[in-house]
Amino acid sequence: MNHNHHHDGGSFRTFAENEFGYVGMCEGCRTINVAFQNSLFCLTLDQIGAFTKLIADRLTMRPFCTTHGKKLILATPVPNYFLLFSEADLANLCSLLTEAAPILEAERILELSRLN
Ligand SMILES: [Zn+2]
């Protein structure tokens, strides 16, 4: 997804934030931004539900056994690039997504009603 335009404060709405990241929407292109640690996931309103389920239910994650505690591995579309999560990471990311979920669902319904 091409998303190079600037996000100035006026065009970005924050739905949830904590010390690890935030969830919000770019008003310009209505892309949902899930920023967590140094990752940025850019999703549509239709994709965010599946993404939240993927993280909450740990779908497609596999055990990754090292002595370092980052015990779950998630493949990305980029070859040779993976995301690792500890239990604490997942809890912190889920907390952001759960907090934002009702607002995102309301936005999705609003968007559907605009199209009809
Ligand atoms: Zn945008």
pLDDT in tens, 26-66: 988 999 999 999 999 999 999 999 999 999 999 989 999 88
Cα(110) to centroid(ligand 1), Å:
18
pLDDT band at 111 (very low <50, low <70, confident <90, very high): confident
In this predicted model, what pLDDT tens digit does every residue of 80-96 receive, in sequence order?
999 999 999 999 999 99
Cα(91) to centroid(ligand 1), Å:
27
Domain range holding 96? Answer: 9-115
Cα(27) to centroid(ligand 1), Å:
7
Residue 93 — φ and ψ, nearest 5°? -70, -45
Closest CA to 44 of 73, 1, 11: 1
Q: Is residue 85 domain-resident?
A: yes
* CB-based burial, 33-58: b 16+ in 10 Å, e otherwise: bbbbeeeebebebeebeebbeebeee
Q: How many domains does the chain have?
A: 1
Cα(98) to centroid(ligand 1), Å:
22
Cα(3) to centroid(ligand 1), Å:
6
Q: Is residue 2 domain-resident?
A: no
Q: Is residue 4 domain-resident?
A: no
